[in-house]
Structure 1
């Protein structure tokens, strides 16, 4: 069984390694959408993989670390592309939620990254 839960956060960033004049070299912001997927066997007694409330409790502190922040100022996110941010999120979620299967991170409604760990 695979379940998912979605979270949103707003963050600013700039990409320091793009060519001069590239618009993403300027500070700008996104409303990100993070979708966290868990996979495993259902608890036979409860009938679920995990309580969605418990999943939210695990993810919310991480979201608070990056919501309404300049991502470039967060250690490990000095070059915060969507790909690097997805891996950064994965590395913080996976130890807390071993059933983590994948994350999907959208920086716009039409652009994003899917990450399934390294």
Structure 2
């Protein structure tokens, strides 16, 4: 995979990891304004995840890179995104895919003892187009 340079997220955590991965999937956006994308077509999606935290787990990881890849790749690789239940009430746009991947990753991280945070998810749909999803911070 070609090394990509992505926008960084400002944070005060001690540790930050970034994981690049890719998967192939098809989708369609059944809306008039989607143009050619209204028809079934496929992409090799390239992702970058940014995870940060102050505490490492007992192995010395924020989270094992393999867990991140397995969670996303096993769910979406060689599938039709429209067939996934998380997209049953909406269209699987790249924006919504990025948000959904963030949700999946953060739910997994919330189950760990060291509680890292997924700061951003970048989904590249084509060589020239990508989406960045960063959850809004809720004031305490």
Query: How many angstroms apart in 2 are the aligned matches of 1:6 and 1:76?
Result: 23
Q: Return 76-85 or 6-15, whichever deviates more.
A: 76-85
Runs of 4+ in 1 over 3 A off after TM superposition: none
- Match for residue 72 of structure 1 among 56, 79, 82: 82
Gaps of 5+ in 2: 1-14, 110-115
**Matching of residue 85 in structure 1 with residue 103 in structure 2:** no
Normalised to the residue count of structure 1, the TM-score between the two structures is: 0.82
In angstroms, what is the RMSD of aligned CA positions?
Answer: 2.2
Gaps of 5+ in 1: none
Contact 1:41 1:49 in 2 (8 A): no
Q: Return 73-82 or 5-14, whichever deviates more.
A: 73-82
How many residues in Structure 1 have an aligned counterpart in Structure 2?
Answer: 113
1:42 CA displacement: 6.3
Query: How many angstroms apart in 2 are the aligned matches of 1:73 and 1:105?
Result: 19
Normalised to the residue count of structure 2, the TM-score between the two structures is: 0.71
1:2 CA displacement: 2.3
- Match for residue 25 of structure 1 among 13, 26, 38: 38
Query: How many angstroms apart in 1 are the aligned matches of 2:69 and 2:24?
Result: 15
